[in-house]
A and B are shown apart, each in its own frame.
Chain A
Amino acid sequence: MYDPTVARLTYRALLGRRRALILGALPLLLIVLSVAVRALTGADDQTASDVLGGFAIATMVPIIGVIAGTGAIGPEIDDGSVVYLLSKPLKRPTIIFTKLIVAIAVTMVFSAVPTLIAGLILNGNGQQIAVAYTVAALVSSIAYSALFLLLGTVSRHAVVFGLVYALVWEALFGSLVPGARTLSVQQWSLAVAHKIAGGDLVTSDVSLTTATVLLVAVTALATWYAGQKLRTLKLAGEE
């Protein structure tokens, strides 16, 4: 199910050249921000929770997920070089699975690790906040990568649609329509974080059982469907 060559190629497509820079800029910003906040306010659990929840989980993780998830397959389909990959004696689901693993790994490294560091800077893991948000980042990395990888195989405007989901659906709709929050990767991962963090600093609108079931279901379905989609991929020229 895992092909090292495909993985190596995907890593290079994601991190090669200047691309690692943009992926690295966001985590760097988070860390700079948390240093500034710590200097301004000192260690405070509520502030730490606000920064990590509002900036790391709500904006940084989805954006890195979009870049890594769609970037793992989108550009190849876009420029047509995916045919060279598809013509190899590899199962299409294997290709998807490998790319998913790589996308998850990249998203985790660039989102969960800085979240942990930022959490430690902000309040030294008081009330398990840093760990809770790190776990949330890890969990949502998996779901986001699977979702956006699927988007990458479905549409050539995957990045835009991914961003519309991440920014408009989760942020805007989620704050206006409470029902939209049940269908949001962010809330599912926060449900997991809620279990770990002490007190009511981390809250979620979804129960842990629902969240876990939905997370697993979405990840599995998205991966399966992306595999199916790649089996019947039609290569189109630039519009």
Chain B
Amino acid sequence: MAVEQPLTSPTGDQTRIHDIGYRGYDGPRLGRSYASRSLYSQSLRGAYGLGRSAKSKVLPMLLFTVMCVPAAIMVAVAVATKAHELPVQYTRYAIMMQAVISLYVAAQAPQAVSRDLRFKTVPLYFSRPIETADYVRAKFASLASAIFILTAAPLLVMYVGALLSKLGFAHQTKEFAEGLVSVALLSLLFAGIGLVIAAVTPRRGFGIAAVIAVLVISYGAVSTLQAIANVQNHTSAIPWIGLFSPVTLIDGVQSAFLGATARNPGAVDPSAGQGVVYVLVVLALIAGSYGLLMRRYKKVGL
């Protein structure tokens, strides 16, 4: 600041350089945790288009409906036919609907981070009291919560429907809880993968295509290989192949520990040892994507 210093200052109070009469802020400072909580809640709302234009509400709401309608139909069928069991297990539902979940992640992950990069608003965030870790955690948590809402809502529909049609309370509650654990893992994993890819590109369209390519294509490739291994009677290889796509990873974890039956061709459940490997890989991927995001935001172009 090139401002002339007054040469003489008889009283200490005269040293004011420039006062154009703005009033200083002396209210409460809400601080870092408040800022990151706001970022979290705004991002979560943004993931469903709340507080944004009507056009951007269409897709998330549509996908949310598409996720819930089959669950409602299943409940209706179960009530009408007086079945003793829901037609589909809680743990199986998310795997069945993986295309919809992948589309949601692909559409909303770039929405959460790419726009901040493209319009260069990230430096503005960091001029607030929040730090890199807060930003990453808030975005990660908000996308994971959004996916959790998307995947847990149909399970809730099924659970309530099951209780209304008087299926066994204890049994349903246990399966519902297992389903929730599995979709929580799925949300964290998908959010991590989606955000890491989306944070690389400021172009929204490219982010979407890249996320979908990783989620869907890897699943397609893995299922093809598993089907062929099954036909060729290499059934012991099937669980190992499943380690290479996010959807089959979750499927493996839940069929090893959460009482689901594996959805892979041949329905080969992973053994307990393989299950441990699955869990480790899932946790490593979640931690790794968090680490990569932290690295990505260490330096954001000013």
Supposing A51-B224, A159-B205, A164-B103 touch, asked if A239 and B213 sit within 8 A by C-beta, the answer is no
Contact assessment for B229 and A40 in the assembled complex, using a CB-CB cutoff below 8 Å: yes
Please tell me if A95 contacts chain B, counting CB pairs below 8 Å: no
Contact assessment for A40 and B234 in the assembled complex, using a CB-CB cutoff below 8 Å: yes
Contact assessment for A160 and B59 in the assembled complex, using a CB-CB cutoff below 8 Å: yes
Supposing A33-B221, A163-B103 touch, asked if A66 and B209 sit within 8 A by C-beta, the answer is yes
A239 to B53, CA, bound (A): 6
Supposing A19-B206, A171-B99, A239-B52 touch, asked if A25 and B213 sit within 8 A by C-beta, the answer is yes
- Selecting from A70-78, A138-146, A223-231, the interface stretch reads A70-78
* Mask of B188-211 contacts with A, CB within 8 angstroms, 1/0: 000000000000010111101110
* Mask of B215-226 contacts with A, CB within 8 angstroms, 1/0: 011001100110
Cβ of A168: which chain B residues have Cβ within 8 Å of it? Answer: 99-100, 103
Contact assessment for B224 and A167 in the assembled complex, using a CB-CB cutoff below 8 Å: no
Which residues 87-112 of A have a CB within 8 angstroms of B?
none
Q: How near does chain A come to B38, taking the closest CB pair, in angstroms?
A: 21
Q: How near does chain A come to B69, taking the closest CB pair, in angstroms?
A: 13
A51 to B231, CA, bound (A): 13
A17 to B256, CA, bound (A): 42
A160 to B206, CA, bound (A): 11
Supposing A40-B228, A160-B107, A168-B99 touch, asked if A54 and B220 sit within 8 A by C-beta, the answer is yes
Supposing A47-B228, A160-B106 touch, asked if A67 and B209 sit within 8 A by C-beta, the answer is yes
Q: How near does chain B come to A123, taking the closest CB pair, in angstroms?
A: 13
Which residues 138-181 of A have a CB within 8 angstroms of B?
157-160, 163-164, 167-168, 171-172
Contact assessment for A78 and B209 in the assembled complex, using a CB-CB cutoff below 8 Å: no
Q: Which of B99, B103, B119, B225 contacts A160 (CB 8 A)?
A: B103
Q: A54's closest neighbor in chain B, by CB?
A: B224
Contact assessment for B205 and A71 in the assembled complex, using a CB-CB cutoff below 8 Å: yes
Contact assessment for B225 and A70 in the assembled complex, using a CB-CB cutoff below 8 Å: no
Please tell me if A50 contacts chain B, counting CB pairs below 8 Å: yes
* Mask of A46-64 contacts with B, CB within 8 angstroms, 1/0: 0100110011001110010
Q: Which bucket holds chain A's interface residue count?
A: 35 or more
Q: Which of A29, A40, A47, A75 contacts B217 (CB 8 A)?
A: A29
Cβ of A164: which chain B residues have Cβ within 8 Å of it? Answer: 103
* Mask of A11-28 contacts with B, CB within 8 angstroms, 1/0: 000000011001001100
Contact assessment for B103 and A239 in the assembled complex, using a CB-CB cutoff below 8 Å: no
Cβ of A67: which chain B residues have Cβ within 8 Å of it? Answer: 206, 209
Q: Which of A37, A54, A60, A159 contacts B209 (CB 8 A)?
A: A159
Contact assessment for B204 and A172 in the assembled complex, using a CB-CB cutoff below 8 Å: no
Q: How near does chain B come to A56, taking the closest CB pair, in angstroms?
A: 10
Contact assessment for A159 and B232 in the assembled complex, using a CB-CB cutoff below 8 Å: no
Supposing A157-B59, A167-B103 touch, asked if A22 and B209 sit within 8 A by C-beta, the answer is yes
Which residues 226-271 of B have a CB within 8 angstroms of A?
227-229, 231-232, 234
Cβ of B201: which chain A residues have Cβ within 8 Å of it? Answer: 18
Q: A171's closest neighbor in chain B, by CB?
A: B99
Q: B49's closest neighbor in chain A, by CB?
A: A239
Please tell me if A86 contacts chain B, counting CB pairs below 8 Å: no
Q: B55's closest neighbor in chain A, by CB?
A: A239
Contact assessment for A163 and B225 in the assembled complex, using a CB-CB cutoff below 8 Å: no
Q: How near does chain A come to B277, taking the closest CB pair, in angstroms?
A: 20
Give 17 pairs: A residue, B residue, CB < 8 Å, sorted on A. A33-B224, A50-B228, A55-B224, A63-B212, A71-B206, A75-B205, A75-B206, A78-B204, A157-B107, A158-B205, A159-B204, A160-B107, A160-B208, A163-B209, A168-B99, A239-B52, A239-B53
Which B residues fall within an 8 A CB radius of A? Answer: 52-53, 55-56, 59, 99-100, 103, 106-107, 115, 119, 201, 203-206, 208-210, 212-213, 216-217, 220-221, 224-225, 227-229, 231-232, 234
Which A residues fall within an 8 A CB radius of B? Answer: 18-19, 22, 25-26, 29, 33, 36-37, 40-41, 47, 50-51, 54-55, 58-60, 63, 66-67, 70-71, 74-75, 78, 157-160, 163-164, 167-168, 171-172, 238-239
Closest 8 CB pairs of A and B: A239-B53, A159-B205, A159-B208, A59-B220, A67-B209, A160-B107, A74-B205, A33-B221
